């Protein structure tokens, strides 16, 4: 599996014209978001959406606060009607676990987030949670992406590399890493397979929406990663065991 971009795949979504800064400020303004610095996730704070939108549009910081943990549909279910997920990105978990039965700790299984942030915000090199695949649609702004396949895990130093400003003294193997690079504009959808390291930066302030998913092509990866995972709590594991028993059965899908 390789990453790909669907140029204009989301251009007809209502979100593209509707989710303006003004709309968020006016309709969701009181809601408090947790925002993190990209280079130091321990440095975080809480801001109302109204405050955060003001911060975003005026921000000139080089490592600004970024909203990457907003499971928007818990408080604003109606936003889900402003976009359409392609059938190719159907998720077994979502099909079997309706949002409204997720509670407490298991809410992490709601694999759906809005990312929004200023220019210069971004996500450091990572693999997605628990070997899930992901799609990401830019609603506004402009993102730059790089991807490296699983054969380059050592070259990216398990995600320690900053591929946009590499330090070759610290990470000499990164010189030999060969990846993909692309820009994503409003309406473009990017698919990231569970196997690929990726790093993203926002070249312009903006909003994007992302959903992670499990299907038959990554079920074995998810199974393996759940067995070793520290990402998931015991409660989440029990939830998954109940709704996706095949993840725990002996029978393996063909690899």
Q: Is the CB of residue 91 less than 8 Å from the CB of residue 112?
A: no
- Residue 195, contacted partner among Fe ion, ligand AKG, none, CB below 5-8 A by kind: none
CB of 33 to ligand AKG, least distance (A): 15
Nearer CB in complex with Fe ion: 48/124: 124
Residues 200-219, interacting with ligand AKG (CB under 6 A): 200, 208, 210
Does the footprint of ligand AKG cover residue 152 (CB under 6 A)? no
Does the footprint of ligand AKG cover residue 123 (CB under 6 A)? yes
CA–CA distance, 90 with 86 (Å, rounded to integer)? 7
- Residue 200, contacted partner among ligand AKG, Fe ion, none, CB below 5-8 A by kind: ligand AKG
CB of 128 to Fe ion, least distance (A): 4
Does the footprint of ligand AKG cover residue 119 (CB under 6 A)? no
Q: Which residue is nearest to Fe ion, using beta carbons?
A: 128
CB of 162 to Fe ion, least distance (A): 15
Distances (CA, A) of 186 to 8, 206, 225: 8, 9, 32
Sequence-ordered alpha helix ranges (H) in 20-71: 21-28, 49-58
What's the N-to-C CA distance of the chain in angstroms? 13
CA–CA distance, 117 with 19 (Å, rounded to integer)? 14
Pick the piece of the chain touching ligand AKG (CB under 6 A) from 45-53, 86-94, 121-129, 167-175: 121-129
Nearer CB in complex with Fe ion: 21/143: 143
**Residues near Fe ion (CB under 5 A):** 128
Does the footprint of ligand AKG cover residue 198 (CB under 6 A)? yes
Does the footprint of ligand AKG cover residue 162 (CB under 6 A)? no
Distances (CA, A) of 158 to 51, 91, 180, 193, 198: 35, 27, 17, 17, 11
CA–CA distance, 103 with 170 (Å, rounded to integer)? 43
CB of 74 to ligand AKG, least distance (A): 18
Query: Which residues are paired to 3 by β-bridges?
Result: none
Q: At what angle do helices 49-58 and 21-28 cross, to 10 degrees?
A: 160
Does the footprint of ligand AKG cover residue 65 (CB under 6 A)? no
CB of 126 to Fe ion, least distance (A): 6
CA angle 97, 101, 235 (to 5 degrees): 85
CA–CA distance, 125 with 161 (Å, rounded to integer)? 7
CA–CA distance, 33 with 23 (Å, rounded to integer)? 16
CB of 173 to Fe ion, least distance (A): 22
Q: Which residues bind ligand AKG (CB under 6 A)?
A: 115, 122-123, 128, 134, 136, 143, 198, 200, 208, 210
């Amino acid at each position: 599996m390789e990453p790909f971009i669907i140029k204009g795949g989301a251009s007809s979504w209502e979100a593209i014209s509707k989710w303006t800064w003004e709309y968020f400020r006016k309709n969701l303004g009181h809601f408090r978001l947790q925002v993190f610095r990209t280079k130091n996730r321990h440095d975080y704070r809480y801001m109302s959406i109204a405050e955060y939108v003001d911060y975003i549009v005026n921000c000139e910081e080089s490592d600004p606060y970024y909203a990457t943990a907003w499971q928007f549909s818990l408080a604003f279910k109606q936003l889900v009607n402003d976009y359409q997920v392609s059938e190719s990105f159907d998720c077994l978990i979502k099909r079997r676990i309706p949002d409204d039965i997720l509670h407490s700790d298991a809410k992490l299984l709601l694999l759906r987030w809005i990312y929004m942030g200023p220019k210069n915000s971004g996500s450091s090199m990572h693999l997605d949670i628990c070997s899930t695949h992901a799609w990401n649609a830019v609603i506004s702004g402009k993102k730059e992406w790089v991807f490296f396949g699983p054969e380059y895990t050592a070259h990216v130093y398990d995600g320690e590399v900053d591929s946009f400003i590499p330090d070759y003294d610290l990470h000499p193997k990164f010189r030999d890493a060969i990846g993909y690079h692309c820009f994503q504009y409003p309406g473009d959808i990017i698919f990231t397979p569970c196997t690929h390291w990726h790093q993203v930066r926002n070249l312009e302030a903006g909003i994007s929406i992302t959903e992670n998913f499990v299907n038959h092509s990554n079920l074995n990866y998810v199974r393996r990663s759940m067995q070793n995972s520290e990402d998931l709590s015991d409660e989440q594991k029990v939830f998954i065991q109940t709704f996706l028993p095949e993840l725990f059965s002996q029978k393996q899908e063909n690899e």
